[in-house]
Amino acid sequence: MKRLLFLAWMALALPLGAHRPAPSAGAFAVPVETTVYVTKTGGKYHKGTCGYLSKSKIAMALSEAKAAGYGPCSRCKPPQ
């Protein structure tokens, strides 16, 4: 009897849940800031793999680099 009640409940509950919209990916997405790298003396920002980052490599957010007046490197072509 318990099994029959359980199956009847499942038959009624599942269709109700099937009509609920799934949460969108944007509802839980956290904005991620792109990390770029600058040097102590240069005026450009770079990808982490750029060859121009041989001696100093200071990580910062892309928005911070732009606000500080750094421009994109022409060699590694980081995001703009």
Taking residues 52-68, report their average pLDDT: 92
What is the rounded average pLDDT for all residues in the chain? 82
How many C-beta atoms surround the C-beta of residue 7 within 10 A?
A: 10
Name, in order, each residue with C-beta under 8 angstroms of 7's C-beta and a sequence gap of 6 or more. none
Q: What is the DSSP letter of 49?
A: T
Q: Residue ranges per domain, the chain? A: 35-72
Give the pLDDT band (50/70/90) at residue 32: confident
Distances (CA, A) of 1 to 10, 13, 36, 43, 74: 14, 18, 65, 77, 74
Structure tokens, 40: 């102590």
Q: Is 18's pLDDT higher than 60?
A: no
Express as a percent the part of the chain with pLDDT over 90. 48
Taking residues 55-70, report their average pLDDT: 93
pTM above 0.85, yes or no: no
